[in-house]
Each structure stands twice: as C-alpha cells, then as structure tokens.
C-alpha cells in the first residue's frame, strides 16, 4: 500500500482536493453524508444498548461470590486492600 501512495503526485493530490471541495460544496451531498452518519451512530448506540442490557442481565443472574471474583480479577486485589 505504501508504494501506491508514493505514486500520487502533488498535482494529483491537489486535483483530488479541489474536486472533493467542489463536491462537498453541494448542500445535498452534505445532507446525505450527515444523514448516513446519524444512521450509523444510531445503529451503533442500539447495538451497545443491547449489549449493555445483556451484561446487566448476566450480572444480576450471577452468584454474588462470582461477581466478587469477577471484580477482583478485573480490577485486581488492590481494590480489597484497606489502608493507605
């Protein structure tokens, strides 16, 4: 992939940049990009929300001793130490 980047001349980069700016000047293009971005963000949030609910359900169903051990493994034994 590095070789392909080396073949693009500064003039070609400038042309790409100019064409991109021209295309982005269109309110319709900006609107379509904005809508697609918002749809993608909403889909990701929905997926994360479903995963969060699944984790909460698993946590609630787990034995308290298993929860404690999980937290110990996750955060380490320092969590349970008392004192400075």
The DSSP annotation for 1-43 comes to: -HHHHHTS-HHHHHHHHHHHHHHHTSHHHHHHHHHHHHHHHHH
Residue reference for tokens 């003039």: 11
pTM of the model as a whole: 0.48
Of 54, 59, 82, 81, nearest to 70 by C-alpha is: 59
Tens place of pLDDT per residue across the chain (84 aa): 455 556 889 999 999 999 888 888 888 888 998 999 999 999 999 999 999 999 999 999 999 999 988 888 888 866 666 655
Answer for the pair 80, 72: CB distance below 8 angstroms, yes or no. Answer: yes
Q: How far is 17 from 2, CA to CA, in rounded Å?
A: 20
Determine how many CB atoms are found less than 10 A away from the CB of residue 68. 13
């Amino acid at each position: 992939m590095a070789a392909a980047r080396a073949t693009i001349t500064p003039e070609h980069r400038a042309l790409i940049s100019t064409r991109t700016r021209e295309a982005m000047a269109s309110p319709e293009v900006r609107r379509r990009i904005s809508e697609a971005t918002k749809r993608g963000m909403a889909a990701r949030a929905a997926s994360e929300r479903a995963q969060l609910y699944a984790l909460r359900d698993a946590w609630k169903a787990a034995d308290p001793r298993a929860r404690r051990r999980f937290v110990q493994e996750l955060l380490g034994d320092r969590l349970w130490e008392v004192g400075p």
